[in-house]
Structure 1
Amino acid sequence: MVSTPESLPGPAAGPRRRPGFVLAPFTHHRAREAGIGRRALESPEFRMLLRGIYVSAAVTVDARVEAQAALLAARDGAFVTHQTAARLWGGVVPHSPALHVGVGRGTRRARRRDLVVHESSRTPWTFRTLRVTSPLDTFLDLATSLHLVDLVILGDSLVRRERFTPVELVRHCAGATGRGVRVARRAAGLVRAGVDSPMETRSRMLRVLSGLPELETDIRFSDAHGRLLRRLDAGDRATRTAVEYDGRQHIEREQAWEADIGRREEFEDEEWRIITLVSRDIYASPEATVDRLRRIFRKRGIPLGRPSEEWRRHFPGRS
């Protein structure tokens, strides 16, 4: 946290020298003590994070700043939880319009529209100087509100950030009790290492929930010295069939496009069949994608599981 004064942009009359605490979230009361009036707080010089909680407009509001603001608005002893904790740990979660903190059971909770205060028996950790639920407990807490696919996306993203391993997550959920534990256990069993993006997770979950083979995640090809040469999102080595998600809506650089063509030709030389999915295959036409994958897998000799319609609840598609 910055504690030295900084020169910040001021009104048209010229720049003002503000105290250094404005570079972290601060209360309306603290501002008045420092001589910063309501008119100044409502000017473009500052940004309101929560009711009565402000920060300098020069500050980039990230997960840590949001967590600081949440703890400042809550009572002493609070700790960051749920979506706010997940973002602080670097996890991927759906947007929440409110910030989330927890307090011990039996503790009087503040009532605010912009801050959800949960009664919690969790033992908080300290991360980046802030009190927060552990990554494993954060996953369990969010199992009470997230759907299966979003929970697996969270798990994959936290594994990628090395907050826990899939084995640790499965073990933690197996020993848990309470609300959300069933979906937590199922999601934990579907979390994988080596996933680069939420859309890779969605592609995998579309296969799993439709009864198609999951395939091996994060297939890597290295040279004799162990240097990584190529990588595939998911595939079946025996039949040399792979599924890749391409998040680019258009080719931005000719050099990247040419490199991708060369990479694909190398796989084709080795008789790999690469199925490329894009955003519309997941969001707009999942049924056509499931039929397409089933047809190609069957032709390539990949054993198919029993078809399931569960995917329809999580991938509704759109016209």
Structure 2
Amino acid sequence: MTITTKPHELVDVFRGSVARRDGYVTKGQLRGPRFRRLFQDVYAPADVPVTHALRCRGAALIVPKEAVLTGRSAATVLGVELARPNDPVEFVVPEESRFGPIKGIHVRRTAVDRKESRPWHGIRIARPPRVALDLILRLSPRTRGWVRRLRIAVPDIDAFLRARKVNARRLLREMSGRRNWGIRLARQVVALSDPRAESLPESELRVVLTVGGHHAVPQYRILRHGREVARLDLAIEETKTAIEYDGRWHEDAKQRLLDEARRERLVAEGWRFVIVTADKLAGDYRLILDEVREARRGR
């Protein structure tokens, strides 16, 4: 059998069993180069870029109708890119649901009030306050360590607040009276959140500093005659200590020269710098705190 046209069902994601039943494709064609399998019985044309939103739409074809897309998946669909293309698609389903497991789909069983979600592609998607709550509650009880949980959850909430999908006051109101596992952590995450942060690693670094007893202001503006002359990722103003995150793109030779020139000007004005790389942030956070203490004492 040859496909001479491209029916609507085969332009986007589709269920292989339905396409075969309706005569659009054969089993052999599904296994060929024209299609890509996303999940069990879910396919997309091979020339369609795989995004997380595409995989969310694909997963919606096979989850129960009462399933609610939430967490990083819902945030990404709403325009806050927290999930990478091939990250698990996150759902909550009623506790009595027998759905799963399916590779590539993460399911959490818990109650979701009908008002906390809205219709989406045949299932439901959480509304922003519930998405924000699930960004925290999604953490497994097996995620070890209070600090580790904060380092994962606070950056997500910072990004969601920065996108103005919800505000901290609304979130705290939504959490009032809840008894969910992790609700105490959720309240602390919201208390530590700050929408001024401009990247996930910067938010994580701020959590590390806060845990170490340092109050650092994100995106600190240095003004001269009322005009901004420099901006620091994080700053402890009283000791003129700057803590900056240098991601991989700062390794570019041209960017490195720009960074050095900028920092030399600020050092001449009395600032001291602690530079945190991706490797440092992934390592023992106590070493970062040691560097910050040394910089502050150096004043």
TM range (shorter): 0.7 to 0.9
Q: Aligned partners of 2:85 and 2:58: how far apart in 1?
A: 17
Q: Mark the runs of 5 or more structure 2 residues left unpaired by the alignment.
A: 140-148
Mark the CA change 1:57 to 1:222 in structure 2 (over 3 Å): closer, same or farther: farther
Q: 1:101 — aligned with what?
A: 91
What is the deviation of 1:243? Answer: 0.6
Q: Which amino acid aligns with 1:272?
A: W
Output one character per residue of 1:57-85: Cα deviation in whole Å (capped at 9) or x when no partner: 11112222122112111233433123422
Mark the CA change 1:236 to 1:25 in structure 2 (over 3 Å): closer, same or farther: same
Q: Is the 8 A contact 2:219 2:231 kept in 1?
A: yes
Q: 2:243 — aligned with what?
A: 243
Task: Check if 1:257 corresponds to 2:250.
Answer: no
Q: Aligned partners of 1:125 and 1:245: how far apart in 2?
A: 38
Q: Structure 1 length normalisation: TM-score?
A: 0.76
Task: Check if 1:118 corresponds to 2:118.
Answer: no
Q: Structure 2 length normalisation: TM-score?
A: 0.81
Mark the CA change 1:189 to 1:56 in structure 2 (over 3 Å): closer, same or farther: same
Q: Aligned partners of 2:182 and 2:13: how far apart in 1?
A: 33
Q: 1:191 — aligned with what?
A: 193
Q: 1:76 — aligned with what?
A: 65
Q: 2:25 — aligned with what?
A: 36
Mark the CA change 1:77 to 1:281 in structure 2 (over 3 Å): closer, same or farther: closer
Question: Aligned residues, how many?
Answer: 283
Output one character per residue of 1:72-116: Cα deviation in whole Å (capped at 9) or x when no partner: 11233433123422332325369986433344576x543342342
Q: Aligned partners of 1:217 and 1:166: how far apart in 2?
A: 17
**Secondary structure in 2 matching 1:282:** helix
Q: 1:220 — aligned with what?
A: 221
Identical residues among aligned pairs (%): 24
Q: Mark the runs of 5 or more structure 1 residues left unpaired by the alignment.
A: 1-12, 301-319
**Secondary structure in 1 matching 2:230:** strand
Q: Is the 8 A contact 1:247 1:279 kept in 2?
A: yes
Q: Is the 8 A contact 1:81 1:132 kept in 2?
A: yes
Mark the CA change 1:118 to 1:290 in structure 2 (over 3 Å): closer, same or farther: same
Between stretches 268-277 and 38-47, larger displacement belongs to: 268-277
**Secondary structure in 1 matching 2:273:** strand
Mark the CA change 1:205 to 1:95 in structure 2 (over 3 Å): closer, same or farther: farther
Q: Aligned partners of 1:96 and 1:56: how far apart in 2?
A: 16
RMSD value, Cα: 3.1
Between stretches 194-203 and 158-167, larger displacement belongs to: 158-167
Mark the CA change 1:188 to 1:30 in structure 2 (over 3 Å): closer, same or farther: same
